[in-house]
Amino acid sequence: MAKKGTLLVVDDEEIMRDVLESLLSQDGFRVDLARTGEEGLVRMNERTYDAILLDVSMPGIGGLRTLEEMLKIDREASVIMITAYATFDTAIAAWQLGAFNCIRKPFENDQILKTVAAGIARRRGEEERRVLRRTLRTTGDRSQIVGNSAAMREVYDLIEQVAPARSTVLVTGESGTGKEVVARAIHFSSPRAESGQFVAVNCSNIPSELLESELFGHTKGAFTGAVAAKKGLFEVADGGSIFLDEISTIPPETQARLLRVIQEREFTPLGDTQPRRVDVRIIAATNTDLQRAVKSGDFREDLFYRLNVINIHLPPLRNRFDDILPLAQHFIRKYNEENARSISEQLSPEVLRVLESYPWPGNVRELESSIERSVIIARSDEITLDCMREEIVNPLARGTSSASATDSIASLDIARGISFYDEVSRFEIELIRRALEITGGHQSKAAKLLGMNNTTLNSKIKVYNIKL
């Protein structure tokens, strides 16, 4: 296959076919030829082309009709119309039908080459977006990216923008939000998916004295126990992407070596003297505040700025409760398949209310674990409240149990007299504050948790002057 791609030229004039074939072949393309629209359609059914040059005026079905049929076969095809009779109406008709561009004969060679290059770039951009959408649906065994909330749509758009680039990416967010899945989506939506591997490294799981050996490799005898040479993970990822999870945990000496890899694109294995060049995209992740670590001296400032070229922040699940239902349904499908069960994806209002009211401190990973458990232990064909852990069904019980309430009441010296309404108000304030704390300040969710409507809760917050 040609280096630059494969093109189809459809023109009834032999001399024009010869000119275009010579020009495009010399520029590094493979060129297929067709004399009529019908013949061009046969070619398109046989293979996919990076771009198509199509004459407007031809015998048979003609250029515009051929364009329509081509886009039925391949809706992402970049079709460049060529005509000696280019008029405004012809160009408008072609664009309305979906042509990428329209060029008039006679043309300049550079004009053809630039338009073809632009058409190919447009097509490959569409292919990358298609791959991204598929990746977002299918990659990752845990905490897959699913959701339609505004926050997650922003994440999808950012992933789509950065995937084709070479720049380093820093993915931030709490544990369990799906940072590795985002890293995989970036890799598999980029050209690197074809040229190299995706290598994931959890830096916190590797002892600091072994981390450099894991990342950069070593020679035989480089240190006690190095009985054979070992290839480092950067070398394994050459041409692809390396995902450095929990980047904040790497020791200072490894931070210095990592900085050199980013700046110079080379490293030296332990015990070796010859540097090795690599082409690796670094995607790092952390659930801590790296800027605070920089200020405290625990993380190099220059490395932070090298890593933080592009930042993708994953919001916690408690801030995107609109995604809870699609996530739960996704995990029900997944664990139905894994456990040969047929639990309904339709959740009852009671179950959905509980899922949307719980704060999910473990984020998507905790939700997945809970759904997996529910699918396995469900006694009917649907998930009920009995399938869920007690702290999910009744999160207030964790902080305000009946025992603690009883103890509080017992501590009151009623014999001396108390203000009944003051004490009731105190408990109301305590419950409202606890509900708001659990729901991250989300009044609607707090109202659901307390079993009251939004208006009542809002009124009590104002009356008690509860600060959000």
Question: In a structure prediction context, what are the per-residue pLDDT tens digits for the chain, which is 468 residues long?
Answer: 345 788 999 999 999 999 999 999 998 898 999 999 999 999 988 888 889 999 988 888 888 999 999 998 888 889 999 887 655 567 777 888 888 888 888 888 998 999 998 888 888 766 655 555 554 444 433 335 677 788 888 888 898 889 989 899 999 999 888 899 899 989 988 888 888 889 999 998 888 778 888 888 888 877 777 767 788 889 888 889 999 999 999 999 899 999 999 988 888 888 887 888 889 999 999 999 999 999 999 999 999 999 999 999 999 998 887 889 999 999 999 999 999 999 998 899 889 988 988 888 889 989 999 999 999 999 999 999 999 888 888 766 554 444 445 555 555 555 555 555 566 667 778 788 888 887 778 888 888 777 777 777 877 787 677 876
Query: Are residues 68 and 121 both part of a single domain?
Result: yes
What's the CATH code of the domain at 90?
3.40.50.2300
Query: Are residues 29 and 68 both part of a single domain?
Result: yes
Residue 446 in any domain: the answer is: yes
pLDDT at 80: 93
Residue 377 in any domain: the answer is: yes
Query: Are residues 183 and 278 both part of a single domain?
Result: yes
pLDDT at 382: 92
Query: Are residues 82 and 187 both part of a single domain?
Result: no
With a CB cutoff of 8 Å and minimum separation 6, the contacts of 259 are 300, 302, 303, 306
Query: Are residues 283 and 151 both part of a single domain?
Result: yes
| For helices 14-26 and 109-138, angle between their N-to-C axes, nearest 10 degrees | 70
pLDDT at 85: 64
Query: Are residues 211 and 279 both part of a single domain?
Result: yes
Query: Are residues 234 and 89 both part of a single domain?
Result: no
Answer for the pair 196, 240: CB distance below 8 angstroms, yes or no: yes
Question: Looking at 94, 125, 156, which one is the last position of a domain?
Answer: 125
Instruction: Tell me the whole-structure pTM to 2 decimals.
Output: 0.57
Question: Looking at 393, 427, 449, which one is the last position of a domain?
Answer: 393
Residue 468 in any domain: the answer is: no
Amino acid at 125: G
pLDDT at 139: 46
pLDDT at 403: 47
pLDDT at 228: 78
Tokens of 107: 């043309």
pLDDT at 311: 95
Residue 98 in any domain: the answer is: yes
Residue 194 in any domain: the answer is: yes
| For helices 454-463 and 443-450, angle between their N-to-C axes, nearest 10 degrees | 100
Residue 184 in any domain: the answer is: yes
Domain range for 206: 139-313
Question: Looking at 96, 125, 154, which one is the last position of a domain?
Answer: 125
pLDDT at 138: 47
pLDDT at 411: 54
What's the CATH code of the domain at 405?
1.10.10.60
The 3-class SS string of the chain reads CCCCEEEEEECCCHHHHHHHHHHHHHCCEEEEEECCHHHHHHHHHHCCCCEEEEECCCCCCCHHHHHHHHHHHCCCCCEEEEECCCCHHHHHHHHHHCCCEEEECCCCHHHHHHHHHHHHHHHHHHHHHHHHHHHHHHCCCCCCCCCCCHHHHHHHHHHHHHCCCCCCEEEECCCCCCHHHHHHHHHHCCCHHHHCCEEEEEHHHCCHHHHHHHHHEECCCCCCCCCCCEECHHHHCCCCEEEEECHHHCCHHHHHHHHHHHHHCEECCECCCCCEECCCEEEEEECCCHHHHHHHCCCCHHHHHHHCCEEEECCCHHHCHHHHHHHHHHHHHHHHHHHCCCCCCCCCHHHHHHHHHCCCCCHHHHHHHHHHHHHHHCCCCCCCHHHCCHHHHCCHHHHCCHHHHHHHHHCCCHHHCCCHHHHHHHHHHHHHHHHHHHCCCCHHHHHHHHCCCHHHHHHHHHHCCCCC
How many domains is the chain built from?
Answer: 4
pLDDT at 384: 92
pLDDT at 421: 56
Residue 292 in any domain: the answer is: yes
Query: Are residues 40 and 179 both part of a single domain?
Result: no
What's the CATH code of the domain at 387?
1.10.8.60
pLDDT at 140: 39
The beta strands (E) that lie in 287-430 are given as 310-313
Burial category of 66 from C-beta neighbours within 10 Å (exposed 0-12, middle 13-18, buried 19 and up): buried
Query: Are residues 285 and 187 both part of a single domain?
Result: yes
What's the CATH code of the domain at 149?
3.40.50.300
